[in-house]
Chains A and B, each alone.
Chain A
Amino acid sequence: MTKSDEDTAAIDWPADIYGVLSDMAVRQVCYVPDAGHKRLLEMCRADNAMTMVSLTTEEEGMAVLGGAWLGGQRGVMLMQSSGVGNCINAIASITRAASFPLLMLVTMRGEWGEFNPWQIPMGRATPPVLETMGCTVMRADRPADVKETVLAGARLAFDAGAPVAVLLGQRLIGTKAFKEE
């Protein structure tokens, strides 16, 4: 292991994200789970100040987060890239139509060493689709970049009222390994 690899391995990026969400007073955590968000979800669930909202589809999250904002609370959407496709109209017709803030943290599939070909089309489409929907798209591929990228995205969302997607690259998360039993 080189010195820089050791530094990278020492960075607990899910804890960094949790710390930013906590510092930014995020109170509603909407999610459709992804393996890449597993630890973050556990940390949020352990925080009594955060309400976990398990969704049946990501589309619900745009409306839940709009309602949260109406009621004076900040929220976040935790999802994987395939879920981006599920919420396109809601981003346009709820989030953007009403200029609600939006912070989506999107774990990427279909890019870095992906095993499952079914993940590739939506993974490839995720950045341009989000751009087309008017979202600011940010991205972190290295553990050292996660904290500041999520913080910058959260400020854009909650201070400037923008719709923001932070993509967490598959290289960061690690490629899911499928093995036959």
Chain B
Amino acid sequence: MTESALDRRVVIRKLLADRGEMLVVSGLGGTTWDVASVGDDPLNFYVWGGMGGAASMGLGLALAQPDRRVLVVTGDGEMLMGIGSLATIALKAPANLAVVVIDNERYGETGMQETHTAHGVDLAGFATAAGIPTALTVSDSAGLDDLAAKLGDLKGPLFATVKVTNNQGPMILPPRDAAYVKNRFRVALLGEQAAMR
């Protein structure tokens, strides 16, 4: 629906280039491979299942860690399945939370079937209507630069949907043992004693 020349792997490299101590939650499928393509990091939590839950997981994390920036990177299909979570996020309005949808208008893991966004469903419009104060649709490199700057100096909650091409990029798999990734994340964030819980 929206023409974009942005490549998802270029987008994710830009958004994570200066992440610092930002905490990252990736949604199942393509966005988990995207985040992994920038490099594995103990402050990444890769969601491999529970479609629709990525933004909500970011919310719980952002509320627990109000002094840390939290970035959720997920796909359009995953976001659509949990679209009500935008209303939940708007109510809590955590200043440290950003939700970025990498929107290729496709279910990329199941054969590239069109999602609702291919037919004009406006995810940023959903976010705005829910009451998220900053809700952007990004479809060019200037917009991407602006979004990256906003993540660096985050005044959330922020929502952005980044329109990308259909190019999926090579599949790069991060660890898929969720208990391991969870404990690694907690130790990196909370210290060694977190592994004892």
Residues in chain A within 8 A of chain B (CB atoms): 27-28, 51, 53-57, 59-73, 75, 89-90, 92-94, 97-100, 158, 161
The segment out of B79-87, B106-114, B165-173 that lies at the interface is B79-87
Which of the four size classes fits the interface of chain B?
A: 35 or more
Chain B interface (Cβ < 8 Å from any Cβ of A) = 23, 25, 45, 47-65, 68, 82, 84-85, 87-88, 91-92, 178-179, 181-182, 185-186, 189-190, 194, 197
Whole-angstrom CA separation of A54 from B85 in the bound complex: 10
**Contacts A71-B64, A94-B50, A99-B179; A66 near B186 (Cβ below 8 A):** no
Q: Are A70 and B50 in contact (CB under 8 A)?
A: no
Some 8 contacts from A to B, beta carbons below 8 A apart, are A55-B88, A62-B53, A63-B60, A67-B58, A68-B63, A70-B45, A73-B64, A94-B49
Within the complex, what minimum Cβ distance (angstroms) separates A72 from chain B? 5
Give the contacting residue for B59; candidates A53, A97, A98; CB below 8 A.
A53
**A89 near B50: Cβ-Cβ < 8 Å:** yes
Q: Is the CB of A65 within 8 A of B60?
A: yes
Query: Assuming A67-B25, A70-B185, A72-B190, is B60 touching A97 (CB within 8 A)?
Result: no
Q: Are A54 and B91 in contact (CB under 8 A)?
A: yes
In whole angstroms, how far apart are the Cα atoms of A53 and B85 in the complex? 11
Contact partners of A70 in chain B: CB under 8 A:
23, 45, 57, 60-61, 64, 182, 185-186, 189
Bound-complex Cα distance A92 to B178 (A): 12
Instruction: Give the residues in chain B near A69, CB-CB below 8 Å.
Output: 60, 182, 186
Is A28 touching B179 in the complex (CB atoms < 8 A)?
no
Contact check: which of B56, B61, B63, B82 meets A51 at CB < 8 Å? Answer: B63
Contact A72 B60 (CB under 8 A): no
A79 CB to nearest chain B CB (Å): 14
Is B88's CB under 8 angstroms from A53's CB?
A: yes
A169 CB → nearest B CB, Å:
29
Closest B residue to A68 by beta carbon equals: B60
Given A60-B84, A60-B85, A70-B64, also A98-B179 (CB < 8 A): yes
* Bound form: Cα–Cα A69–B57 in Å: 10
B50 touches A97 (CB 8 A): yes
Complexed CA–CA distance, A92 and B185 (Å): 21
Q: Which of A60, A69, A100 has the most CB of B within 10 A?
A: A60
Partner of B60, one of A54, A66, A99: A66
A4 to chain B, nearest CB (A): 40
- Measured between beta carbons, the chain B residues less than 8 angstroms from A68 are 60-61, 63-64
Max chain B C-beta neighbours (<10 A), residue from A62, A66, A71: A71
In the complex, which residue of chain B has the Cβ closest to the Cβ of A66?
A: B57
* Structural contact, B178 and A75, CB atoms closer than 8 A: no
Q: Which residues of A lie under 8 Å from residue B48 when comparing CB positions?
A: 97
- B50:A90 contact, CB within 8 angstroms: yes
Contact A56 B53 (CB under 8 A): no
Cβ-closest chain A residue relative to B183: A99
Residue of B nearest to A73 (CB): B64
Question: Besides the contacts A67-B60, A71-B23, what 7 more A-B pairs have beta carbons closer than 8 Å?
Answer: A59-B53, A63-B59, A68-B64, A69-B60, A70-B186, A98-B178, A99-B178
Residues of A within 8 A of B91 (CB): 54
